[in-house]
Amino acid sequence: MGGRAAAQRIRKAIALVNAVADGAGDEDLTPTEIAEAIRDCLELREIEQGSNVRKYLGEALDATSDGMPADFVAMTLYAALGALGESGSEV
């Protein structure tokens, strides 16, 4: 069950970033809101310290803070999602 919660939260962050990349929607999403969604993922206990999942989430957070394009942040989050699946967790 824990892997599913982590995957769901990462997918939510990806959806936010994709909304920014597509320019769709009435609401303006700020980098702060995207960073908050990524931090929510990092707070999950089922994502092991030192794992590739945490590494990619940290890189996505740094990229957001550095003002990198939304598609770059999304690709990093997809890498985290892939690493979550590779770790043997239920996705």
Q: Could you report the average pLDDT of every consecutive run of 10 residues in the chain (91 residues)?
A: 82 91 67 94 92 97 95 96 75 44
CATH architecture of 2-86: Up-down Bundle (1.20)
What is the pTM (predicted TM-score) of this model? 0.86
Q: What is the pLDDT of residue 19?
A: 86
* 3-state helix, strand and coil shares in percent for the chain, rounded to the nearest 5: 70, 0, 30
